[in-house]
Structures are given as C-alpha cells and as structure tokens.
A and B are shown apart, each in its own frame.
Chain A
Amino acid sequence: DSGVTQTPKHLITATGQRVTLRCSPRSGDLSVYWYQQSLDQGLQFLIQYYNGEERAKGNILERFSAQQFPDLHSELNLSSLELGDSALYFCASSVGYPGKDTQYFGPGTRLTVL
C-alpha cells in the first residue's frame, strides 16, 4: 500500500459523457501527478500540481482538466469522452518539487468508455 488513494476503482461510461477521478496523496506530500496508461501508449504523463498550483503539463488533452484543492487532494476531469480515452489513470504523489524524491503511485482508476 503506497498510501495514495484513488476513487473510483472502476468507471464505465458512455461516449460524450464527463467523469471525475479523485486522488488523495500520501500524508505530507505536496506534489500530485496524473498519468494515463493505455495498451497502445504505455504510461503517459498528463499533469502535475504542487501545493495547489499547476507545475507541468504533459500530453493532456484540452477535454481534460485537473485541479488540486487546499487539502491537497486532486481531481482529474475528463469530458466529451471518446472510446480512445479508455485507459488506466494513475495518480502519484511526492513530498516536494522538484522531483528527485520518490513518486508513490496509487492503485489507479480503470475507465471504460462504451
């Protein structure tokens, strides 16, 4: 158990819908990262937040957005969902920024878009 929690574990929805994935970092960690893992793309970095502020963007689509709240939990919002958005979405957290420190990954949310 990494100490990072993600909800829900599974999510099944239809194309065009919007969903919200939630992540609670380890106690004391200020940085939260979101990654997407699909079969044909591997693990892709999406976005990073540090203490409530966006720090880095990766291959995140405009239909996707995220935020980190004052209590440091984070949400990833996916809208206008397409079949290709079906993937595992991982959240990771670390103590600080910059990131020499270890990232701890959550168990992931499996999103299925039908």
Chain B
Amino acid sequence: LAKTTQPISMDSYEGQEVNITCSHNNIATNDYITWYQQFPSQGPRFIIQGYKTKVTNEVASLFIPADRKSSTLSLPRVSLSDTAVYYCLVGAQGSSNTGKLIFGQGTTLQVKP
C-alpha cells in the first residue's frame, strides 16, 4: 500500500475554505484515494473517495492531478464542528486486496471562531 504524507495540523477560521493536501508518490495504478474524518473517541467516518480528476459530494471535494501523486481534500466554509482529524488513505482495489485500511498520522484541523 502506498505511503501517504499529510500535514500534522492546520488551523482555520469559521467560514473559510480549507484545503488539505496529501502526498502519495508511490501510488499504484489500481489505487483509490479515500479520506476519513475522526472526532475524538469516535470511529472514523468516510468523507470522500476518488481515482482521478475531481470528485464532489455534499460535504467535500477531492482534487486529484493527472499524475495522481497527490490529492487535495477541500472543505468549503468550515464550521467549528469540522474540527477533527482527517486521514488520507491510498489503497489498491481489486480481487487480491482485502480492503484493510492503513491509517497514517492524519491532519488535525482546528477551526477557530
């Protein structure tokens, strides 16, 4: 599984757009990029997943450049409740993959009023 690198922490203010970039230089052809959010003492929650270009859902957007060696999670107009740890995961998909998730250290996002 490809190793990921993301900032340890980020600060933002309410109403701002937050972009968290994840580096995954060794991403393989079959790898998808998935982001999870975790609040203290709660289980991680799926945010978004993508393979290439741009994916958008009701809570976030995921931008993936053509070389796929990095990805950026974009959270529009954050609120205090978006304060959490955000994990970027890269994993191979296909018949030989078990689906286990390998979590890195994550990015702790602190949203200030």
Contacts and interface: CB of A to CB of B under 8 A. Distances in A.
Interface of A: 2, 4, 31, 33, 35, 42-45, 48, 55-56, 58, 88, 90, 92, 94, 97-108, 110
A92 B42 CA distance: 12
A98 B41 contact: no
Given A2-B43, A100-B99, 20 more contacts: A31-B99, A33-B99, A43-B87, A56-B99, A56-B100, A90-B44, A92-B44, A94-B99, A98-B93, A99-B93, A99-B97, A99-B100, A99-B101, A101-B99, A102-B49, A103-B46, A105-B43, A105-B44, A105-B45, A108-B43
Contacts, number: 74
Nearest to B49: A102
Identify whether the interface residues of A are mostly helix, strand, loop, or mixed: strand
12 contacts: A33-B99, A33-B100, A35-B101, A43-B44, A43-B87, A43-B101, A45-B101, A92-B43, A99-B97, A104-B46, A106-B43, A108-B42
